[in-house]
Amino acid sequence: MKSDDEKINEIIQERKWANGKMIKMDSKVFKTFLELEKETFKDGALSKKNKELIAVGISAMVNCESCMQWHITEAYKDGATEKEILEAIEVAYEMGVGSVTVNSRFGLEVMESLYHGKEEE
């Protein structure tokens, strides 16, 4: 079984390889993506650090380990504390549970229809 450090290093190496390959293949779409990333994570109304923290939470929600590794590292470089990164991940927990509560409303409607929606024959 790989250690956490080995897994993280493997993710970094795979990203570097794939990004390099896309650049070498002159992918205009990938180059546009890189420009989009630069523009997105610039300081603006939100600081780059806060944008990275948002990305950490989204990365956890969409289960993207490579994204988490990248955005946690970027947030760290931008001065985010361990507690700030943890709280970004905790927001993802709430959003994950929150979406289940929304999705479960349909189940409640089905139950209501089955148990209370029809008159007894």
Per-residue pLDDT tens over the stretch 28-70: 999 999 999 999 999 999 999 999 999 999 999 999 999 999 9
Q: What is the pLDDT of residue 99?
A: 86
**Could you give all domains of the chain from N- to C-terminal order, each with its CATH number?**
4-116 (1.20.1290.10)
Q: What is the pLDDT of residue 22?
A: 97
Per-residue pLDDT tens over the stretch 1-12: 778 999 999 999
- pLDDT confidence bin for 120, thresholds 50/70/90: low
Give 51: exposed, middle or buried? Use CB within 10 Å, 0-12, 13-18, 19+: buried
Q: Can you spell out the DSSP letters for 28-75?
A: HHHHHHHHHHHHHTS-SSS-HHHHHHHHHHHHHHTT-HHHHHHHHHHH
Per-residue pLDDT tens over the stretch 66-117: 999 999 999 999 999 999 999 999 999 999 998 888 889 999 999 999 999 8
